[in-house]
């Protein structure tokens, strides 16, 4: 992973900078949801009626589940389960891997770590079999979140670094930005606010390149 320059030094980290970090952390960690986003989701759900029972429908189900994850977790879980059932029916391994990731995401948010880990490990097996490095990377990020929630910051960072290596193989800037946000969150929780701000800025630079 590339070395990140310090933009702040701990001795000079003022209360104003700390408050700025809090605001920045909220903005970059929780994307805004609005009426336009809901309208887009409604349109995507309507498209499901036109799709055959094929890979395109499974991909759409996983997409809808991902978008609903923070808005309506029960709805998100429904679509993820539908995606996994259909993927198993037509033996679409990639779709099944992402459906398991989507289900695990909801379970992690609910504190159901054991159930989530079981699905993530199964998704990892699929990802390794089909050599989907992005799926592997996102799985490691989710595992790192479980580690973080359970207080094992060292293991969490270890998993994040694995994810970054995997995302580097595919030049996945979205995945890398999420990884930097996760390290920033851990730095924040450990009280290392300058490092946290550094990682958030790195994430922001990657996100700007996607727009």
Span 94-119, average pLDDT: 97
**pLDDT at residue 27, rounded to an integer:** 54
38: confidence class by pLDDT, cuts 50, 70, 90: low
Decide: 104 and 81 in contact? Cβ < 8 Å: no
pLDDT at residue 130, as a whole number: 97
pLDDT of residue 95: 97
Instruction: Give yes or no for residue 14 having a pLDDT over 70.
Output: no
Give SS3 for 71: coil
**Better pLDDT: 127 or 14:** 127
For residue 175, give the DSSP letter: H
Q: Cβ atoms within 10 A of the Cβ of 40, count?
A: 12
**C-alpha–C-alpha distance, residues 73 and 77, integer Å:** 6
- How many whole angstroms from its chain centre is CA 61? 17
- What whole-number percentage of the chain has pLDDT above 90? 62
Of 24-33, 68-77, 101-110, 152-161, where does mean pLDDT reach its minimum?
Answer: 24-33
Q: Per the structure block, which two tokens stand in for 49?
A: 């009626």
Least confident of 20-29, 71-80, 170-179: 20-29
What does the radius of gyration of the chain's CA atoms come to, in whole angstroms?
18
Give me 122's structure tokens: 């199964």
Q: What is the pLDDT of residue 207?
A: 86
| Residue bearing the bigger pLDDT, 91 or 37 | 91
| Whole-number Å distance between alpha carbons of 116 and 147 | 12
Please give the pLDDT value at position 24: 59
Phi and psi, residue 82, nearest 5°:
-60, -40
Q: What is the DSSP letter of 10?
A: G
Confidence band (pLDDT; 50, 70, 90) for 11?
very low
What integer is the mean pLDDT of 7-19? 49
In a 10 Å sphere around its CB, with 0-12 CB exposed, 13-18 middle and 19+ buried, how is residue 131 labelled?
A: exposed
Q: What is the mean pLDDT of residues 136-141?
A: 98
């Amino acid at each position: 992973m590339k070395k990140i320059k310090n933009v702040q030094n701990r001795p000079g980290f003022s209360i104003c900078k700390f408050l700025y970090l809090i605001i920045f952390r909220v903005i970059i960690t929780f994307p805004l949801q609005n009426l336009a986003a809901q309208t887009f989701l409604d349109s995507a759900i309507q498209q499901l009626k036109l799709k055959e029972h094929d890979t395109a429908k499974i991909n759409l189900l996983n997409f809808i589940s991902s978008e609903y994850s923070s808005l309506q977790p029960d709805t998100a879980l429904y679509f993820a389960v539908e995606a996994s059932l259909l993927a198993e029916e037509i033996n679409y391994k990639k779709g099944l891997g992402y459906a398991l990731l989507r289900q695990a995401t909801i379970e992690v948010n609910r504190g159901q770590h054991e159930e989530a880990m079981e699905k993530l490990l199964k998704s990892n097996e699929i990802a390794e079999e089909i050599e989907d490095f992005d799926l592997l990377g996102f799985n490691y990020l989710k595992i790192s979140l479980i580690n973080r929630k359970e207080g094992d910051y060292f293991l969490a960072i270890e998993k994040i670094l694995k994810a970054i290596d995997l995302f580097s193989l595919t030049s996945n800037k979205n995945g890398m930005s999420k990884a930097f946000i996760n390290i920033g969150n851990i730095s924040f929780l450990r009280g290392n606010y300058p490092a946290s701000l550094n990682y958030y800025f790195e994430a922001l630079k990657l996100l700007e390149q996607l727009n």
